[in-house]
């Protein structure tokens, strides 16, 4: 294996963090570095800070949680590698970014119009689907602790996106999922994976023409200021999985882990309880700022988008496998083709 400079520094940091666990008995707090890519003022950002507050309280200071928001420590791809190497201990990536962990099945959650509403999403993640997906991580040395909600995607460009033909020839930034890649291709556009921290500039300079995301991410990253038209399409859902390195988590003293589990359960309830309102408020702010024009699809337009993207379901078999699709079909009562 070629050891690059970046990889070397990740490995050095990993050795340091193992040392941090060992010295816990000598009264040094155990440090949990929690890296993520969005702003503090979003559902995930607030959830991470809530976890910090509760974890430090419930462990009586035995644990210190350092939250690194806004890609300040690592960008999307690097943070996954850093977790595997142990140089960060906790992440909450969007489930669209799990293929590099060897768990492409998570991308099934990106299927267009999969969740009829928030309640359906919630039921899926709390039930068999959420549990089944977390099992897929075990063999990768990763443990899934919770799912955090961030609502439904909007989509934007510098022209109104009202009919499938409006997407023709436009370049769209996507976050990582091949399912999203597929539905953008079916609309005749050119999807491109890009780290979240690079999106604003890419939109501003025209490296890409458009993107998809939730209102809270648009407003905190100012995407609305560099996109003339946003369609509130709700065409796909954005959710996170809070994950830890299994070796790190399993190596924690049992009483500490119990307290952290409690902190995570409460932080999860909190995050999921604010997600919808945070996005409603963000959308209201975008409207008020008036830097962009918001569009809402008519029932006929929605039907045309759904029809254009529908072949993604058939295509998905080859990407995520039949098993997860069958599980979803059974639990959500949706047809897979
Ligand atoms: C994105 O990269 O678009 C999002 O997944 C960022 C995030 O974590 O919400």
pLDDT for 5 equals 47
For the stretch 191-202, pLDDT in tens is 999 999 999 999
CA of 304 to the centre of ligand 1 (A): 27
Do 335 and 209 touch, CB atoms closer than 8 A?
no
Residue 16: predicted pLDDT: 46
Which of 55, 113, 58 lies closest to 89, judged by CA?
Answer: 55
Using a 6 Å cutoff on CB, does residue 217 contact ligand 1? Answer: yes
The sign of the dihedral angle between the CA atoms of 80, 197, 224, 202 is: negative
Is the distance from the beta carbon of residue 155 to the nearest atom of ligand 1 less than 6 Å?
no
Q: Which residues pair with 241 in a beta bridge?
A: 147
- The pLDDT of residue 285 is 98
Q: Does residue 38 have its Cβ closer than 6 Å to ligand 1? A: yes
pLDDT in tens, 200-254: 999 999 999 999 999 999 999 999 999 999 999 999 999 999 999 999 999 999 9
Could you tell me the distance, in angstroms and rounded to a whole number, from the CA of residue 189 to the centre of ligand 1?
Answer: 20
Residues 64-72 have a mean pLDDT of 97
Crossing angle for the helix pair 322-332 and 128-138, to the nearest 10 degrees: 160
Query: Which neighbouring-strand residues pair with 67?
Result: 34
Cβ–ligand 1 contact at 48 (below 6 Å): no
Its pTM stands at 0.92
Partner residues linked to 242 by β-bridges = 146
Partnered with residue 293 across adjacent β-strands are: 229
* Ligand 1 centroid from CA 67, angstroms: 17
Average pLDDT over every residue of 82-97: 96
Q: Tens digits of per-residue pLDDT, 91-121?
A: 999 999 999 999 999 999 999 999 999 999 9
Confidence of residue 153 (pLDDT cuts 50, 70, 90): very high
DSSP-derived letter for residue 254 is H
Q: Encoding tokens for residue 68?
A: 């690194």
Listed in sequence order, the residues at least 6 apart from 129 whose beta carbon sits closer than 8 Å to its beta carbon are 324, 327, 328, 331, 332
Residues 230 and 293: their CA atoms lie apart, in Å, by 6
User: Which pLDDT does position 23 carry in this prediction?
Assistant: 46
Atom of ligand 1 at shortest range from CA of 212: 3
Cα→Cα distances 161→99, 146, 168, 217, Å: 29, 34, 10, 19
pLDDT at 15 over 90: no
pLDDT of residue 3: 45
213 close to ligand 1 (CB < 6 Angstrom): yes
216 pocket-lining for ligand 1 (C-beta < 6 Å): no
């Amino acid at each position: 294996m070629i050891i690059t400079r970046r990889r070397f520094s990740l490995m050095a940091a990993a050795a340091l963090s193992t040392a941090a666990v060992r010295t816990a008995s000598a009264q040094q707090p155990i440090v949990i570095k929690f890296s993520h890519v969005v702003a503090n003022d979003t559902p995930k950002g607030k959830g991470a800070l809530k976890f910090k507050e509760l974890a430090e309280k419930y462990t009586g200071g035995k644990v210190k949680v350092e939250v690194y928001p806004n890609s300040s420590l690592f960008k999307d791809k690097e943070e996954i590698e850093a977790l595997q190497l142990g140089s960060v201990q906790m992440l909450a990536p969007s489930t669209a970014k799990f293929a590099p962990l060897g768990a492409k099945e998570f991308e099934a959650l990106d299927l267009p119009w999969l969740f009829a509403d928030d309640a359906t999403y919630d039921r899926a993640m709390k039930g068999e689907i959420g549990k089944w997906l977390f099992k897929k991580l075990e063999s990768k040395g990763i443990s899934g602790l919770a799912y955090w909600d961030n609502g439904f995607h909007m989509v934007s460009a510098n022209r109104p996106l009202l009919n499938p033909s409006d997407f023709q020839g436009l370049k769209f930034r996507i976050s990582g999922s091949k399912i999203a890649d597929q539905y953008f291709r079916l609309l005749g556009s050119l999807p491109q994976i890009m780290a979240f921290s690079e999106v604003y500039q890419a939109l501003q300079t025209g490296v890409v023409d458009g993107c998809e995301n939730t209102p809270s991410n648009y407003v905190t990253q100012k995407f609305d200021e560099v996109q003339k038209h946003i369609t509130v399409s709700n065409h796909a859902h954005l959710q996170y999985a809070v994950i830890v390195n299994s070796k790190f988590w399993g190596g924690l003293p049992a009483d500490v882990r119990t307290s952290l589990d409690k902190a995570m359960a409460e932080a999860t309830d909190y995050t999921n309880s604010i997600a919808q309102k945070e996005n409603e408020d963000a959308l209201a702010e975008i409207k008020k700022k008036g830097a962009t024009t918001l569009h809402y699809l008519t029932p006929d337009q929605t039907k045309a988008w759904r029809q254009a993207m529908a072949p993604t379901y058939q295509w998905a078999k080859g990407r995520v496998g039949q098993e997860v699709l069958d599980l979803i079909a059974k639990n959500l009562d949706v047809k897979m083709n």
